[in-house]
Amino acid sequence: QSALTQPASVSGSPGQSITISCTGTSSDVGSYNLVSWYQQHPGKAPKLMIYEVSKRSSGVSNRFSGSKSGNTASLTISGLQAEDEADYYCCSYAGSSNWLFGGGTKLTVL
């Protein structure tokens, strides 16, 4: 199983909105509403932001939202803030108790 496909980097100015895509296949993203998103700051453990495609984890700002269409899931961050600068990873259930991560996207806040 190959990793899910994410853009290597995205950027935006404070206050703007950005979207990070996560493309899988009909065997993972397309088959299950079990896509999650994680934020990772340098040297830190990943933090769960979104689960089950679009549900925000406890304490996560409503500036973060998730969606899915077909084999592609997306994370949107609105009202960009400097603290949002981090790496973001998507993850999907792939069946038979297996999970797949995306390659990660580095978000730069200009």
| C-alpha 66, offset from chain centre | 8
Our CB check for another protein shows the closer of 84 and 89 to be 89
Instruction: Report the nearest approach of another protein to the CB of residue 99 (Å).
Output: 4
Strand intervals (E) in the chain: 9-12, 18-23, 35-40, 47-51, 55-56, 64-69, 72-77, 86-95, 98-101, 105-109
CB of 61 to another protein, least distance (A): 17
Measured from the CB atom, is 40 or 78 closer to another protein? 40
Question: Of 57 and 76, which CB lies nearer to another protein in the complex structure?
Answer: 57
The Cα 60–Cα 102 span in angstroms is 21
**Residues found near another protein in the complex (CB under 8 A):** 1, 3, 34, 36, 38, 40, 45-48, 51-52, 57, 89, 91, 93, 96-104
